[in-house]
């Protein structure tokens, strides 16, 4: 198992090296997310079951599927680690009456999340702050649930382990850690497949994915019990395919806009990665999983 190492060493600015690319990616791709993907505020894959009719429903369903792995009751405190623009946090507060504190690295996301909370009149239940989930400025035992939806994938292996330790620290005894994320199926792959993975993930500001064995092992190392990871990829298949089709369709237009300096390198890399994720999926290199674990009482 990887030990915390150089990838968590602060850059000259004093923050870990992964922070800047993540912020640049999200701030630079807001237009794409808003126009092409987000229906509602969720920035994640969709979950399709028999009742799902639309992409919008599938996005909410993914959050619902993760929430189903804990018993949330009014008054409980949830930390949303990597909250995006607040989609899951606002849905959890509206649906269960829980109090949610969402953290992100991006000031632009923070401003949007606060605006959406105000519009929905949920400021009494939901707050947003800037914080790195690998070094949380919150006391031990402050939360009933730590929630991480497609956020932990972004940080390097050592930082993923730091996140799990922080999650365990800030949870109350008996609290639940819930994660929806993408995982490698194995390590290492052939060099061709490693190159494909790297090119895909780099365009989305992701260092590397953990394998399912790594993430479950690190969760146990962080003190969690009842560690359980479910592969839900078949439920996300239509979502994965949708993104690929959109990317194929938008590809030529994107190149023209890029040549006219109307699209940035970050936006074009985002589009290219939307195609590469499909190639990696077809080679069976990654899966989407729901991870749940308990902090012992």
Ligand X SMILES: C[S@@+](CC[C@H](N)C(=O)[O-])C[C@H]1O[C@@H](n2cnc3c(N)ncnc32)[C@H](O)[C@@H]1O
Residues in contact with ligand X by CB under 6 A are: 22, 26, 42-44, 82-84, 87-88, 103-106, 109, 132-134, 149-151, 154-155
Residue 150 CB, shortest distance to ligand X, in Å, is: 4
Nearer to ligand X, 108 or 279 (CB): 108
What is the distance between the alpha carbons of residues 67 and 223, in angstroms, rounded to a whole number? 22
- Cα distances from 234 to residues 176, 281, 286, in angstroms, run 25, 11, 12
Pick 111 or 255: Cβ nearer ligand X: 111
Q: How far is the CB of 129 from ligand X (least distance, A)?
A: 10
Q: Per DSSP, what are the bridge partners of residue 10?
A: 16
Among all chains, which residue has been given the structure tokens 């993408």? Answer: 182
* Tokens read off for 113: 């999340």
Instruction: Considering the complex, state which of residue 41 and residue 197 has its C-beta at the smaller distance from ligand X.
Output: 41
CB of 38 to ligand X, least distance (A): 8
Q: How far apart are CA 156 and CA 153, in angstroms?
A: 8
Cα(125)–Cα(286) distance, integer angstroms: 35
Q: Could you tell me the smallest distance in angstroms from the CB atom of residue 267 to ligand X?
A: 16
Give me the residue label for tokens 């999200």: 26
Comparison of 82 and 254: residue with beta carbon closer to ligand X: 82
Using the 8-state DSSP alphabet, how is residue 7 labeled? G
Beta-strand (E) ranges in 162-239? 171-184, 225-231
Residue placing its CB nearer to ligand X in the complex, 27 or 189: 27
**CA nearest neighbour of 229 among 287, 283, 175:** 287
As measured in angstroms, the least distance from the Cβ of 158 to ligand X is: 12
Q: What minimum distance in Å lies between the beta carbon of 278 and ligand X?
A: 17
Comparison of 86 and 254: residue with beta carbon closer to ligand X: 86
């Amino acid at each position: 198992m990887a030990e915390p190492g150089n990838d968590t060493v602060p850059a000259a600015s004093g923050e870990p090296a992964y922070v800047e690319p993540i912020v640049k990616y999200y701030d630079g791709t807001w237009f794409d997310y808003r126009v092409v993907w987000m229906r509602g505020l969720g920035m994640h894959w969709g979950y399709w079951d028999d009742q799902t009719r639309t992409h919008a429903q599938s996005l909410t369903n993914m959050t619902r599927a993760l929430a189903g792995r804990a018993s949330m009751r009014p008054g409980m405190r949830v930390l949303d680690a990597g909250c995006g623009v607040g989609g899951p946090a606002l849905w959890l507060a509206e649906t269960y009456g829980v109090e949610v504190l969402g953290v992100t690295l991006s000031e632009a996301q923070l401003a949007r999340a606060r605006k959406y909370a105000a519009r929905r009149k949920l400021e009494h239940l939901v707050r947003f702050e800037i914080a790195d989930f690998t070094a949380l400025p919150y006391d031990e035992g402050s939360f009933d649930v730590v929630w991480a939806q497609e956020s932990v994938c972004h940080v390097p292996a050592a930082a993923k382990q730091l996140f799990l330790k922080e999650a365990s620290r800030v949870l109350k005894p008996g609290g639940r850690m819930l994660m929806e994320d993408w995982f490698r199926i194995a390590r290492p792959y052939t060099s061709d497949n490693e190159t494909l993975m790297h090119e895909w993930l780099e365009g989305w500001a992701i260092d590397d994915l953990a394998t399912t064995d790594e993430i479950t092992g690190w969760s146990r190392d962080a003190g969690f019990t009842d560690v359980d990871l479910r592969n839900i990829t078949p439920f996300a298949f239509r979502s994965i395919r949708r993104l690929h089709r959109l990317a194929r369709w938008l590809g030529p237009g994107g190149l023209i806009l890029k040549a006219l300096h109307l699209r940035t390198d970050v936006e074009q890399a985002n589009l290219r990665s939307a195609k590469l994720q499909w190639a990696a999926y077809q080679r069976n290199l990654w899966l989407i999983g729901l991870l749940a674990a308990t902090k012992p009482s």
